[in-house]
Amino acid sequence: MGSVITETISIISGLGSLISAVALVITIHYYRKQTSGLEKQLEEMRKQNSILEQQLEEMRKKAELKAEFDYTFLDNAVPITDADKAIISGIMIKSGTDTRAKIVRINVFNESSVTARQCVAKVRIFRKDHWEGFGGIMLHWIRYRVGIHGNRMEDLYRPIDIAAKDSEIADLVFIIKDHKEKYAAIRTDLGLDILFANPRTRLHEDDILKVSVYCDNATLDLPCIHVKKVPDYDTINSSNEKDFLEILECHKVLPS
């Protein structure tokens, strides 16, 4: 009887050892599986971190801009209203005549290898020894061409990306002749459109225009424009613009 009990105990002990061994194998397998999954997660996180670091590094890079004033359209006036459809935001402004404009623009070049992101061009007017109170005027990038008839103003003046080694052009001054008068004004988002421009954006003799370009990763200040005399539609062209608009270093004509 004693030998049977001893044998039974031995068998049970052996089974216990076997069960322990099996449990250990299962535990090791599960641990390895968990470790493998964790390693995959860590590797994926490393990849994501690497991509994020590259994106952050790209964002830290500064774009290099340069700009010049473009007088091409002083010789090529463009119609800014249609004689038969002279309507802005549903308002009939005139009929039977076109309104035409000669335009001074700025051409902004991105000379770097990174995109200049979310760029806006702005101009401030220094007049009679003080800055005009409305602050900087947002300029219109000509890439957003459509919009004289009924488009939302904010769509016309939204920021723009300037691709590497590329350029974009913004309107600056419209020199206008219509059936009633001639005048020069900055195209602005302060009114429905150029024909309804805020009167303070019309140029006056001795105004100083300070133009700047602001991007998320770049800033550029252009030379200032001194309005020697208000540009006249019938006489100004690309050969005599200096008689009307004089380019000067800003620090020489603006208060410090």
SS (H, E, C) 204-256: CCCCEEEEEEEECCEEEECCEEEECCCCCCCCCCCCCHHHCEEEECHHHHCCC
pLDDT of residue 126: 96
Look at residues 60, 76, 98 and tell me which one is the last residue of a structural domain: 60
DSSP 62-101: PP-EEEEEE-GGGSS-EESS-SS--EETTEE---SS--EE
Domain that holds residue 42: 1-60
Query: 123 and 181: one domain?
Result: yes
Tally: H helices and E strands in the chain: 3, 16
Asked whether residue 79 falls in the same domain as residue 149, the answer is yes
pLDDT of residue 222: 97
Q: What is the mean pLDDT of each run of 10 residues along the chain (256 residues)?
A: 53 57 66 72 76 66 95 89 45 56 95 96 94 84 65 76 96 86 82 63 95 97 97 95 96 89
> pLDDT at position 238, please?
94
Q: Does one domain contain both 172 and 231?
A: yes
Co-location of 161 and 240 in the same domain:
yes
Main-chain phi, psi angles of 189, to 5 degrees:
-90, 15
| Whether residue 176 is found in the same domain as residue 82 | yes
Answer yes or no: do 52 and 70 share one domain. no
What pLDDT, on a 0 to 100 scale, did the predictor assign at position 86? 44
Domains: count for the chain: 2
Strands 245-248 and 224-227, bridge-based pairing = antiparallel
- Check whether residue 219 and residue 196 sit in a common domain: yes
Report CA Rg, the chain. 35
pTM of the predicted structure, to 2 decimals: 0.71
